[in-house]
């Protein structure tokens, strides 16, 4: 059986990277945040915007220096991911961009992104091409930061991708040193060996699975953590080829060091909304 959920799983991997694209512009530049940005780009990446076309990621520091002390917010409004015949991935996205410059001048645009990403085995995809086209000017606006949402969504999509396409060791990057997970079964996990056993036990029963999120709420806390409340609609196909569904409510606290590639899961509380059950068809 072909992987019924392949597009959904790859979409998680693409959006994990896409929401990272903006983060370097939304916090003060450091060597680490710039290195993290380079990590999502191919060596020959081609970026086209109103300012022209740049090729390659060398010299990125100089290109980013233009934005020093700017306040930038990138509010992602719509995304669409498609698989291309050559193994690459296409992303189309619309955003609302808000900006306050050091002289206190303010600008806001709607922008359309067209991007091509290169798939990598057992790793997240990287950008080969990005084309940015302004689609409108917003005259009056209230600046609202978007870093918290982009940070949380990037983490969420990578977490879901790893749940669906398990590579247990990669979870280490997404777990806080002192993490605690309260599962809907009543089980509590607070060390990596038990976490690994849980993931492997779950995945041994499944051929494939996918998650869709809804009712997402994100809030920035004052202690370098982010609170996320979200519901997940889960679909899976067991090794016996049975179709299953479930729905859960998640409450997360994710710790956030802006120097790291991703935020990290500190606390997770899961409540069952719809129990795991076999169905005839999705």
Mean pLDDT computed over every residue of the chain:
96
CA dist 246 and 35 (Å) reads: 39
3-class secondary structure, 35 = helix
- Residue range 110-155, pLDDT digits in tens: 999 999 999 998 899 999 999 999 999 999 999 999 999 999 999 9
C-beta neighbour count of 247 within 10 angstroms: 16
CA dist 232 and 152 (Å) reads: 15
pTM for the predicted model, two decimal places: 0.97
**Residue 1 pLDDT grade (very low, low, confident, very high; cuts 50, 70, 90):** very low
Q: What is the pLDDT of residue 42?
A: 97
Chain Cα centroid distance, residue 250: 17
Q: Which residues pair with 49 in a beta bridge?
A: 52
């Amino acid at each position: 059986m072909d992987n019924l959920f392949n597009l959904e799983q790859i979409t998680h991997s693409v959006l994990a990277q896409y929401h990272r694209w903006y983060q370097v512009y939304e916090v003060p530049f450091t060597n680490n945040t710039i290195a993290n940005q380079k990590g999502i780009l191919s060596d020959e990446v081609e970026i086209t915007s109103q300012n022209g076309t740049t090729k390659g990621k060398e010299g990125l520091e100089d290109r980013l220096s233009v934005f020093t002390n700017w306040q930038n917010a990138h509010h992602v409004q719509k995304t669409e991911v498609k698989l291309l015949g050559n193994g690459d991935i296409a992303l189309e996205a619309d955003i609302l961009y808000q900006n306050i410059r050091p002289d206190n001048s303010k600008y806001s645009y709607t922008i359309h992104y067209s991007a091509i990403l290169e798939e990598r085995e057992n790793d997240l995809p990287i950008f080969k091409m990005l084309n940015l086209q302004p689609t409108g000017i917003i005259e009056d606006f209230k600046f609202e930061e978007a870093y918290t949402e982009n940070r949380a969504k990037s983490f969420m999509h990578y977490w879901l991708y790893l749940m669906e396409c398990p590579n247990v060791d990669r979870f280490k990057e997404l777990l806080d040193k002192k993490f605690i997970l309260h599962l809907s079964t009543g089980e509590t996990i607070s060390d990596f060996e038990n976490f690994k056993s849980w993931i492997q036990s779950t995945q041994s029963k499944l051929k494939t699975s996918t998650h869709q999120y809804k009712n997402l709420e994100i809030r920035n806390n004052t202690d370098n953590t982010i609170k996320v409340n979200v519901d997940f609609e889960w679909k899976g196909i067991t090794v016996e080829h049975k179709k299953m569904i479930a729905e859960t409510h998640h409450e997360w606290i994710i710790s956030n060091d802006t120097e790291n590639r991703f935020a990290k899961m500190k606390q997770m509380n899961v409540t069952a909304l719809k129990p795991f059950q076999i169905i005839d068809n999705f």
